[in-house]
Amino acid sequence: MGLVDIAKKILSKFPGIKISVLENLHLEINTTINQPGAITNNMLKINPTKLSEEDREEIRGFIRSELENGATLLETSSEEMIGQIKKEESTEETERLLNFLRDKIPSQDLSVWRASLYLRSLYRANKKENVQEIKDQIIERYGDRGRNIANLCSANYLEDFFIPLYDSYSGEAKKEAFVETYDDIVTNHPFSIFVNAQMTKSGLEEEIVSRKKYGIKLLNIHGIGKSNIKIINEVITKIEDELESVSMKKEVNSISVKILFK
């Protein structure tokens, strides 16, 4: 059963939701809408908290099927592209990364990461004539969140930041703590700075000043490792008089700081 059929079956139970024109739908799980489902610009938004368990299981089944099929990731559904995506996902590196992501991030983000890893493989293979087309498709299908994930993926933040970040957490709430920081980073990527081993104290300060210069008032700063945590703390202390507020979330080996300029 395809998405259109599932939409008709589920939404027909609820008067007031128009289902007369349904084709080329994309699915978004959205628990903030005040009804079981809504259709806007070919986007089917489903709030599973307002569905029966039977209907929720049908949606879960569709999502599982989607994740197994490369054709669902992008607008293009040619056999050639499906084959290219599956070939990329069969490589040892990509398989390892997807295995990490599968049970740690919101389920709706997995397709975006799969498409973004495919995009990155094209760039690394110097197939630059296809890169912009695929990135445009990611943005068209997944919106700003897709754009942010594609940019994070291209800059190797999955390997260099997210995996070490997850490993830095401990305890029963490890996954919840990771998802909270992950979601903040993905949502606010243009307003985030990631402090890595190559960044000096002066380099971080320059980056913060640069963001402020371009009118960004709210900034998120993330770092992993004792040396990076020390750099962040020292820079925040130095610029404290320029800040309206500072909030910190500290773990044993990581830190996330949210600052608001005056």
What is the C-alpha to C-alpha distance for residues 256 and 47, in angstroms, rounded to an integer? Answer: 30
pLDDT at 67 over 50: no
For 124-180, how does the pLDDT look when each residue is reduced to its tens digit (9 = 90+)? 888 777 788 888 888 888 888 888 999 899 888 899 889 988 998 888 888 888 998
What is the C-alpha to C-alpha distance for residues 254 and 230, in angstroms, rounded to an integer? Answer: 10
Q: Which of 68, 103, 120 is the last residue of a domain?
A: 68
Angle at 257 between CA 253 and CA 258, to 5 degrees: 160
pLDDT at 60 over 80: no
Residue 220's domain is classified under what CATH number?
A: 3.30.110
Q: Which two tokens stand for residue 74?
A: 């992008």
Domain assignment present for 108: no
Q: Which of 68, 102, 124 is the last residue of a domain?
A: 68
The total number of structural domains in the chain stands at: 2
Domain assignment present for 44: yes
- Give 58's contacts (C-beta < 8 A, 6+ positions apart): 1, 6, 9, 10
Could you tell me if 94 and 125 are in contact, meaning their C-beta atoms sit under 8 angstroms apart? no
Q: Which of 22, 48, 68 is the last residue of a domain?
A: 68
What is the C-alpha to C-alpha distance for residues 229 and 242, in angstroms, rounded to an integer? Answer: 20
Range of the domain at 251: 161-261
Question: Of 252, 43, 47, whose CA–CA distance to 142 is shortest?
Answer: 43
Question: Of 97, 93, 69, whose CA–CA distance to 83 is shortest?
Answer: 69
What is the C-alpha to C-alpha distance for residues 170 and 98, in angstroms, rounded to an integer? Answer: 21
pLDDT at 61 over 50: yes
Question: Of 187, 220, 184, 188, whose CA–CA distance to 204 is shortest?
Answer: 220
What is the pLDDT at residue 43? Answer: 66
